[in-house]
Amino acid sequence: MKRPIETSGEPALFGTQGELLSLLISVEPKLLEELLDALAHLDFPVNPQLHHRPAQVTVEFPAYSSRVDEVRDALRIHGFNPASLEASRVLSLSAGS
């Protein structure tokens, strides 16, 4: 479930911690509780949306780009593959903006 990242223009949502991204992690349903526990240990609040599919749950939440490595580290520490983390822009500017 990869989402393309727009490359035209400047990031639409940018702050002192970097660009606001949407982070996605897909796991088997039996691992969902462990994943949510790993995310609960992050140093910033995570308000995940869960997308259920057969044999897979995708957890999606916003985070600033400066936090991506922290999320990858938490995944690794809790036994998940850090490469399973996908990031995409939350918003992007249209060409006319």
CATH number of the domain enclosing 49 = 3.30.70.260
Q: Strand, helix or coil at 7?
A: coil
What is the band of 10 on the pLDDT scale with cuts at 50, 70, 90?
A: low
2: confidence class by pLDDT, cuts 50, 70, 90: very low
Q: Which domain covers residue 77, as residue numbers?
A: 16-89
State the Cα torsion 63-69-74-80 to the nearest 10°. 100
In a domain, 44, yes or no: yes
Question: Mean pLDDT across the stretch 68-94?
Answer: 88
Say if 2 falls within a structural domain. no
Q: What is the pLDDT of residues 20-71, one digit of tens each?
A: 999 999 999 999 999 999 999 999 999 999 999 999 999 999 999 999 999 9
pTM as predicted: 0.78
State the Cα torsion 91-93-94-96 to the nearest 10°.
160
Q: Is residue 83 part of a domain?
A: yes
Instruction: Classify residue 64: in a domain, yes or no.
Output: yes
CB of 42 closer than 8 Å to CB of 52: no
Task: Give the mean pLDDT of 3-20.
Answer: 63
In a domain, 8, yes or no: no
- As for how many domains the chain has, the answer is 1
Distance of CA 75 to the CA centre of its chain: 11
Q: How high is the pLDDT of residue 3? A: 45
